[in-house]
Structure 1
């Protein structure tokens, strides 16, 4: 730190001279402009543009829409408008001028409507809108971190118009050409990392090149579609893009390396059931189905590549199942990683030829049940399935055991006109529909397997072989719904699997409303066998999801059955009827899903039967329709699913009609049964605000600091309370309030004295809010701020030749600091030079001391004002030398303003090379006489200088003291000024000698391997000791002992190796660099035997906490501390050796008895406990710098003391390592405590 500080000061001196040197060159002929060409660099890149000879860019003074007409009128006076943007207008003159003539024409434009004019540049001379570049008259400058931007700008005579970050500033030259020249002139100046002219460029809205063709996302009528016949998703992406959601594409593979998928793929998560590895890539060249589905769901968006998925930032996992789709593999694919994967997108199922009923096998159904029960940590996996493409073959989605399951979301397809696609199967199980192919020339544009010979590319007709333009079917509709489900979960992670389904269907859009199939069910929902509840509406679904209050627990009612044994007349549309009457189900139970189990096993052609269910509300579910292909299988306990009765009550008569629609076969209606799934507390959209906050204080109540504004806890009947927004203003209209966002019903604020108005808004998780009444309070606080520390750097310099001084200020205040100002009038500067705030307690100010000041100490006043208008003043100083350069500044790290103790280490820094000695002095503030500090090392000869230790004399009472260091030349002449530091001593503590020096280092076990109970060490131990850590005579050697007895036992102590192999550390002198000691150790050495020892003059003593840990971990690092007594040696034995301290480490307020509970007077098990104390014991706590922070005495006979982890004055001590010195009579032990807050 000392070395870095010295370097920093040197750099500042060099920088100042460099700035002056650079400033002297500022008017030289350096420019980026050569003729009509402008060339500049940004980093290593070079940019070139050509100045247009007949165009001018005008920056309106007030570029608002309301005065656009007036701006245009003024612009037309200067030329024809050829381009407009929000912040500028470009005009074209009838006359072309070159070089300085064009420059002067631009500079001559003076118009009250424009803040400035500028040249128009074209990148590489190419005249196109996208190549326009207009210099703004500003320069972007990145300064080195140690440079004061204000001082730098003042040195160059430029104005800072904006501060960005990391010491990057925008300087305004008020002229585009001057700005270009200035950037060139300073680009290589000292302290400038880079500089270049600020440029306005035309920006196009970022888009994916194939997105305009993706009509399913935004239908503008392309490909002859109906405008708006899409999923209404574009606006959703302003808030949600699927971030954090994970979609598994269960299909024939996923091209993880595809350019438009790879950023979203979770590589290593996938699986391939053919190759049995984590690479889900397609197995066969034409396996492009899964890659296309992945693109529909979550192709990366807004990246200028390809198209866009519905959830453009969602994660994708590829499960290549279909090349080896056995029952067990299907079950595994639908349950793999279901605690992490949220959505399983399935664009597959049984054959769509209508020949067979597609059975959902028990093992696959078990996987679905596990998913909805345990997936997503109990909220349930989302299983989306394509409804099927077999309409033309007489197939029905209810014949598909996967899409027909109540655990899945079955999706059908509509065209770009909103009509049912010719292939899309109908069914009572269809939840929603989604846009897909089927209209004229309206394939879905999505990703294809990379390369011209893979996937759909051969014969596809797509201009880019990495994308297909012919994807479609319900295979495309399903991943589109999966992507929208991802957006819904991003909006509300609490949605269950039933919530996702319910939100989708309740917010679906009624497409093709003229279709006569549409009907309303008994709960008022519009339903359609082909569309389900309509086309999924992403905007409405996501908005509702955000506000959705989850459904209550699922309830089921079953056992309602009938076995009529009725003959089904052949080829008779009237068929036979049977009924089941339900009663007694609670009136508040609402149906979500109905399962119908049906048997007519003696009918040889199952496809002949039309099966229709009618609810008590009159809602019809067509479960089966005439299917000429359906033969060779029978209705034997087939389970139909219907969502069409959603929201209805089950009580009443349910009727079933079965009709044989084709000759010549007959059969029997053997049996049927009903099972109802639903809830007594359906989910709903939360639109009610929380209760209204009631405020305290109120009615102009007078308050003081710390100011705590409190209000009543609010409750919310919907999704739950989210947060509060507290507003405070001195105007009851709240035109510009101070705002605080909090999750608590109280907030501490800092405002100034006077009358204030305030109000609180309570928000719930659905963004509903309530606002309290406006109330008021009056602040009257007279407590002024308190200084913590003030320092000026450098505090000394040889002469005042434009020296840059930085003042660092630390201050605290209950209300908060409003401003800090320096009175620099004695330096011919401002009498109210403003400091800048760094953080809550830190402020800084930099100024340049003018030339010609006399030698000596120069004081300047520093004033602080808090928000209550309370003010405090103090003085800081700088010292200007003559013939003798003072030796150093004092180390501020060791000198806080308030010292709770009697011992101070004075360590010099920034030592001058002319200094041969240092004299340390002190005096009580107000005394005229300086006293030399009594120490054998004062004055200290050097270099090097390591400082001295000051023990407070018995005659020195509490109060303020000044310390100074005086430089001594080789001639013996002593500096007459010195460097001052002011301290306050505030304690009534023991004057006995304390342990003050610490050695902190690291023991690293080079290599370890597991043993039975101990670990051996192979290779050795590395000991690291920081430089300047030891200032007393201490010998440190690494040794080991061979018995369990405590040292000193010379007969059992053995050195690890000869001293020459690892050196001996003599602590008389400090070290210029870190000491690193490598100790080779035989492989047979047990790790517990190795320790760190020091010699006290008669015995070797072990530092007990420097043992190498026996943990079985490779290259473990253990920290140790060696405590060195100032005088004498530790006693050979102590009756305090059995003292224990626990918990250690101590972590207040964590509620964990293993670590620590906050101190409570009523609870004897809290705080830091010292146990096994003997008789009268004194406990003193020191921080690692040797500062006494707490002192306690134990006078009873219980042998215990509890410490509340607070220091002198009652303030909580901060996190860190502390030394506890416990003494009783002449005995003393030292322990270490760690506190973590």
Structure 2
């Protein structure tokens, strides 16, 4: 049986220009949507030629043509742009026009690390981005055969690279890359994002959100493209992946990295949106020379050589993409959400020496800011995938805090609540998104935690020493960055895809923090947002605090994603959700760790498991702790 998949990596592989010799900075990008009677590539080319524009291509899914206008110097630049926009707006063949926003993006390299800066110095522009291709090629050897219950499947994968980071990046280019080849693409691996320097807080714009929605609803023939994203290497700069709205997106599988001992790496970023981690190597602590020979991933390097220095989340993402390709090969009918559920069900605790932030959520899943659900276990995923039943469709509900604005003062902690008594069509949660807006004299001195009705805590954003922004996260109801024509785009997209939400386009400015830690829990009950502020940590912070020593929580909205369970499943789900989240003891974690390893080594690893029998067989007496509900702990294999 032959399977064909397309894996795409967003990389700057070769330093070449594909369509123009001029620098990208010489152009201004414009998105143009044609009217229904004129939606034809030839008409788009004709319009561009008539107006002395360059048609750079079509953005699949969201129906935009990517036009470029050559930039003039000085005042002539703005005048030329205004004239071009007005000319396009008055063309009866054109429905609307929008100007692309310029973005600052970087490869997931290492920030503030002299050792690694030297390592990548010679091939800084593109070396770090060639290795992921070769890594997946190793995983994806076309002559490789794998045995699934005595049936052999020969892998046939097509690897394609999209040149994205070789010049100026705009919202149009991002959306175009994310939707390219969507219908036949199984996996897209991305090892880039906002700069990992601990100062940025950035989320996808309207077009990119629409592109991601389109990818998971229309990609892979409707089963959804898997967007696998590197969680970031900003740990040395005190960064937090909760401030990165790309890896904290409900349509994205965020992957962190661990070394060969199962420990976190010193450059890693931690947040509750991380789904899992993969082995790539690297030291656990930057300041300590650890007493072992570092073990890394061997990958092809430039000049026909090999490297053992291929690590970081940039490496973890393509490693995970290769692993998930095997899972899709075992069952090509899996949806993108099936894959997420399988990861949650099978990921393992990777070590027993770093157990300080594990929590058992209200549905029995072990979750961690450092490891997500745990390290990917490809054998377990394949075993589970072969007999997997597709999960029910995803729904969501939205609730807002309706109380008065809450004042934030230095060194204090405040809490606000949202009581959810109904979430239509959602009985068990998947992703939870907290949309938050606040003002404060120094954004990095604010920590935000979300607590579910089951008691699961998720630190949505931690304190960040380098984030000295005085902007906070603004909230407003006016149209800021998008034109009236963009609102028309919203309406059209809403008709195409109900998961595109109107509030994104209305200029309502908040940050969408996201957590996967509430997976499987019930949405019903009291949700608490806790905001803590710390005292100034340096002279700059002290000075800004003197000028403005108070802030305000301006907005808190809660979007709950999940699925609906039929009556036959409700009793089991309700019984499972009666448990409260708790912090397990080391002994409890050790038992889980050993049990997961023993199941992994079982000779019946390829058989579908009878979860209810395992639950009954593997009951264990509680630890001597009132908060321990270990005997009701339900994880993948019967915990």
Do the structures match in fold with TM over 0.5?
yes
User: Equivalent residue of 1:289, what SS?
Assistant: helix
Alignment-derived partner of residue 448 in structure 1 = 301
Structure 1 Cα separation of the partners of residues 307 and 179 of structure 2: 30
Whole-angstrom distance in 2 between the partners of 1:374 and 1:339: 6
Q: Judge conservation of contact 1:403–1:429 (CA < 8 Å) in 2.
A: yes
Work out whether residues 4 and 155 of structure 2, in 8 Å CA contact, stay in contact via their aligned partners in 1: no
Change (3 A) 1:523 1:768: closer
1:375 aligns with 2:219: yes
Q: Is 1:533 the equivalent of 2:373?
A: yes
Q: 1:387: which partner in 2?
A: 231
Residue number among 323, 327, 332 corresponding to 1:484 in the alignment: 323
* Aligned-pair CA distance for 1:511: 1.2
The answer to whether the 8 A contact 1:356-1:631 is kept is: no
Partner of 1:678: 562
Shift of 1:400: 0.8
SS in structure 2 opposite 1:293? helix
- CA deviation vs aligned residue, 1:160-203 (integer Å, no higher than 9, x gap): xxxxxxxxxxxxxxxxxxxxxxxxxxxxxxxxxxxxxxxxxxxx
1:285/1:645 CA distance change after superposition, 3 Å? closer
1:510 aligns with 2:349: yes
1 CA distance for matches of 2:300 and 2:520?
39
How far does the alpha carbon of each residue in 1:1155-1180 deviate from its partner, in whole angstroms, 9 at most, with x for none? xxxxxxxxxxxxxxxxxxxxxxxxxx
Change (3 A) 1:479 1:274: farther
Aligned-pair distance for 1:766?
Answer: 8.8
Q: How does 1:1138-1149 map to 2 (within 5 A)?
A: none
State whether residues 448 and 460 of structure 2, in contact with CA within 8 Å, keep that contact through their aligned partners in structure 1.
yes
CA distance in 2, matches of 1:442, 1:316: 27
Call closer, same or farther: CA 1:506–1:272 in 2, change over 3 Å.
farther
Distance verdict in 2 for CA 1:297–1:505, change over 3 Å: farther
> Where is the strand percentage greater, Structure 1 or Structure 2?
1
- d(CA) in 2 for partners of 1:422, 1:582: 39
Instruction: Check if 1:297 corresponds to 2:136.
Output: yes
Distance between the aligned counterparts of 1:537 and 1:650, measured in 2? 29
| SS of aligned partner of 1:314 | strand
Could you tell me which residue of structure 1 aligns to residue 553 of structure 2?
Answer: 669
> Aligned pair in 2 of structure 1 residues 589, 434: CA closer, same or farther (>3 Å)?
same
Q: 2:531 aligns to what? A: 658
The reply to whether residue 609 of structure 1 matches residue 446 of structure 2 is: yes
Residue in structure 1 matched with residue 472 of structure 2 by the alignment: 634
Which residue in 2 is equivalent to 1:599?
437
Quick one: structure 1 residues 483 and 579, their matched pair in 2 at CA, closer, same or farther if it must change by over 3 Å?
Answer: same
Aligned mate of 1:566, from 392, 406, 411:
406
Secondary structure of the residue aligned to 2:219 is: helix
Distance 1:301 1:523 in 2: 35
- 2:158 match: 315
2-side partners of 1:579 and 1:594: how far apart?
15
* 3-state SS of 2:207 partner: helix
Aligned residue runs from structure 1 range 238-249, under 5 A: 243-249=3-9
CA gap of 1:499–1:437, structure 2 versus 1, over 3 A, is same
Q: Secondary structure at the match of 1:479?
A: helix
CA distance in 2, matches of 1:649, 1:768: 24
Matched, 1:618 2:378: no
Question: CA separation in 1, counterparts of 2:527 and 2:17?
Answer: 46
Rounded Cα–Cα distance in structure 1 between residues aligned with 2:554 and 2:403: 6
* Contact preservation (8 Å) 2:399, 2:420: no
Q: CA deviation at 1:345?
A: 0.4
Q: TM-score, normalised by structure 1?
A: 0.31
In 2, Cα distance between equivalents of 1:551 and 1:320: 34
**1:294 Cα shift?**
1.3
User: How far 1:391 sits from its partner (Å)?
Assistant: 1.5
From the superposition, tell whether residues 274 and 650 of structure 1 become closer, same or farther in structure 2 (CA, over 3 Å).
farther
Partner Cα separation in structure 2 for residue 566 and residue 301 of structure 1: 53
Q: Distance in 1 between matches of 2:267 and 2:563?
A: 35
Check if 1:468 corresponds to 2:352.
Answer: no
Deviation at 1:301? 6.1
Instruction: Note the C-alpha offset of 1:566.
Output: 1.5
Which sections of structure 1, spanning at least 5 residues, go unmatched?
A: 1-239, 256-269, 278-283, 306-310, 452-464, 686-764, 770-1237
CA separation of 1:300/1:444 partners in 2, compared to 1, >3 Å: closer, same or farther?
closer
2:415 touches 2:528 (CA, 8 Å); kept in 1? yes
Aligned residue number for residue 716 of structure 1: none
Match of 1:584 among 411, 422, 435: 422
Q: 1:254 offset after TM fit, Å?
A: 6.7
1:499 aligned onto 2:352: no
Q: Deviations over 1:1006-1047 (max 9, x none)?
A: xxxxxxxxxxxxxxxxxxxxxxxxxxxxxxxxxxxxxxxxxx
Match status 1:645 vs 2:485? no
CA distance in 1, matches of 2:381, 2:212: 24
Residue 542 of structure 1: how far off its partner (Å) = 1.3
Normalising by structure 2, report the TM-score. Answer: 0.60
Could you tell me how far apart the structure 1 residues matched to 2:518 and 2:247 are? 17
Counterpart CA distance in 2 for 1:624 and 1:676 is: 18
Q: Does the aligned pair in 2 maintain the 1:590–1:647 contact within 8 Å?
A: yes
The offset of 1:408, in angstroms, is: 0.4
**Structure 1 pair 366–584 and aligned structure 2 pair: CA distance change class (3 A):** closer
State the Cα distance separating 1:588 from its structure 2 match: 6.9
Instruction: Give the structure with the higher percent helix.
Output: 2
Matches within 5 A, 1:737-886: none
Q: Summarize deviations over 1:70-115 as a string: whole Å, max 9, x none.
A: xxxxxxxxxxxxxxxxxxxxxxxxxxxxxxxxxxxxxxxxxxxxxx
Unmatched 5+ residue regions in structure 2?
22-55, 58-122, 145-153, 284-292, 475-509, 537-544, 570-605, 611-639
Q: 1:248 to 1:653 in 2, by over 3 A?
A: same
Give the match for residue 401 of structure 1.
245
Match of 2:114 in 1: none
SS at 2:401 equivalent:
strand
CA offset digits 1:1078-1121 (Å, max 9, x no partner) = xxxxxxxxxxxxxxxxxxxxxxxxxxxxxxxxxxxxxxxxxxxx
- 1:16-27 mapped onto 2 (5 Å cutoff): none
**Conserved 8 A contact 1:357-1:399:** yes
CA offsets 1:648-676 (integer angstroms, 9 cap, x no match):
00111111110112323431122211111
Q: CA deviation at 1:768?
A: 10
Counterpart secondary structure, 2:210: helix
Contact 2:367 2:374 in 1 (8 A): yes
- Shift in CA distance, 650/353, structure 1 to aligned 2, threshold 3 Å: same
Q: Partners of 2:17 and 2:129 in 1: how far apart?
A: 13
Q: Please give the secondary structure, in 2, of the residue aligned with 1:591.
A: strand
Q: Secondary structure at the match of 1:245?
A: strand
Q: 1:605 to 1:563 in 2, by over 3 A?
A: farther
Change in 2 beyond 3 A, CA 1:356/1:418: same
> What is the Cα deviation at residue 560 of structure 1?
3.4
> Residues 243 and 300 of structure 1: is their aligned pair in 2 closer, same or farther, counting only changes over 3 Å?
farther
Q: Is the contact between residue 227 and residue 251 of structure 2 (CA under 8 Å) also seen in structure 1?
A: yes
- By how many angstroms is 1:433 displaced? 0.7
Q: 2-side partners of 1:301 and 1:428: how far apart?
A: 30
Q: 1:314 to 1:672 in 2, by over 3 A?
A: same
Task: Decide which structure has the larger Cα Rg and report it.
Answer: 1
CA distance in 1, matches of 2:468, 2:375: 33
Question: How many residues are treated as equivalent by the alignment?
Answer: 408
CA distance in 1, matches of 2:124, 2:264: 32
